[in-house]
Amino acid sequence: MKLVRIHGVNQVSVDDVPMPNPGPRDVVVKVGACGICGSDIHFVRNGFLRPGGEPMPLGHEAAGTVETVGAEVIGVTPGMRVFINPDPGDGNVMGNGGTEGAFGTKVLVRNAVLGETLLPLPDDISFAQAALIEPLAVGRHGVNRGNPTAASKVAVFGCGPIGLGAILWLKRRGVAHVVAVDVSAARLDFARRMGADATVNPKTEDLRARLLALHGAGKSVMGEELVGTDIFYDMAGGPGVIAGIVDMAQYHARLVVTAVYPKPVELSFITLLMKEMEITTAGGYPSELHEVLAELPDIDPALLDAYVSHTYPFEAFTEAFEVAQRPDSAKVMIEFA
């Protein structure tokens, strides 16, 4: 069978590998769709490998059809449509350094447990829609960590798939005003389609001045005029993003960081001290996968269409992976025949 694997820095290929060999507690799933994640791009650029230098299988945003069920697996049957939890908490991570990856025609799900490693799908959800559960759950967990209320004034930095997902959940929660910030005009257009109330491109606009105009002046510190944004979500990870937010943030503002920073970030703790700012991080989805699956049928299909900018067959994975690295893409989806 075919499987995407990383062999070194910027070395990724579709390889011929043996078919999965399930044990009594395992399940084999025929993959129907799998999304390309920003972490996939990060893994390839940094040449992540398995222990001992083995190629690392890629792909973790997947849904498909159960084909083979181990004798000791309870409640799972062949033909069942499922979303695969890539990080069920038992160490069997998928596409993130584990032994399996979902950018393949079939994938082995170890220690399969219905409702934990495999979530059953309703018939009216396509595999491509179900594959969005994972990135939407990451965005939802980030939103949850910020504890927004209906009255919150919010700025989301970074309008890739996670930022777009956050905008969707913020607006579904009834948050008063959401500003999307990105340097890509295409991604700002996606953000507007997802419900953002306003957009700002820091390359062409004065970000601080625009936030002052949109959210008003906030609680000042030492007489300095600061923006009235209540919660900042950093889903961009760009140079200077966090320092810039801290510099303009009002007294008691909140910052949630979901972006990956491979290198240390320098901050002024004198500024943080004076502003009594709250900074927290968000990684993963301790409960959000089930929440997203429950709400997915109620989400306007037009929003999901806006979320997925490109769809490719598995045979065109190389082209799809290149597109996923462009600033004019949102979620890039791979579909399997």
pLDDT digits 0-9 by tens, 85-101: 999 887 789 999 999 99
- The string of pLDDT tens digits covering residues 159-184 is 999 999 999 999 999 999 999 999 99
Does one domain contain both 26 and 92? Answer: yes
Note whether 147 and 275 are same-domain residues. Answer: yes
| Percentage of residues in the chain having pLDDT higher than 70 | 100
Q: State the pLDDT at residue 126.
A: 95
Residue span of the structural domain in which 151 resides: 135-281
139 and 6 together in one domain: no
| Domain-embedded: residue 289 | no
144 and 270 assigned to the same domain: yes
> Same domain for 251 and 167?
yes
**Is 207 within the bounds of a domain?**
yes
Overall domain count for the chain: 2
Predicted local confidence at residue 262, as pLDDT = 84
The answer to whether position 294 is within a domain reads: no
Judge if 195 and 231 occupy the same domain.
Answer: yes
292-333 pLDDT tens trace: 999 999 999 888 888 999 999 999 999 999 999 999 999 999
Over residues 136-151, mean pLDDT: 97
Same structural domain for residues 179 and 311?
Answer: no
**For the whole model, what pTM was predicted?**
0.94
Residue range 106-119: mean pLDDT, rounded: 96
Q: What is the pLDDT of residue 102?
A: 98
Q: What Å distances lie between residue 266 and 20, 224, 243, 246, 262, CA to CA?
A: 46, 22, 8, 11, 13
Confidence of residue 78 (pLDDT cuts 50, 70, 90): very high
Kindly calculate the radius of gyration of the chain based on its CA atoms and give it in whole angstroms: 21
| Contact call for residues 100 and 84 (beta carbons, < 8 A) | no
**What are the two backbone dihedrals, phi and then psi, of residue 265, each rounded to the nearest 5 degrees?**
-115, 130
Residues 124 and 144 in one domain: no
Answer yes or no: do 306 and 268 share one domain.
no
CATH of the domain at 126: 3.90.180.10
Predicted local distance difference test score (pLDDT) of residue 89: 80
Residue 286 lies in a domain: no
- Do residues 14 and 46 share a domain? yes
Assess if residue 292 is contained within a domain: no
Q: What is the pLDDT of residues 254-299, one digit of tens each?
A: 999 999 898 899 999 999 999 999 999 999 899 999 999 999 999 9
Q: Do 157 and 139 belong together in one domain?
A: yes
Task: For residue 6, tell me if it sits in a domain.
Answer: yes
- For residue 288, being part of any structural domain is answered with no
**For the domain that residue 205 is a member of, what is the CATH number?**
3.40.50.720
Task: Please indicate, yes or no, whether residues 159 and 58 belong to a single structural domain of this protein.
Answer: no
Q: Is residue 35 part of a domain?
A: yes
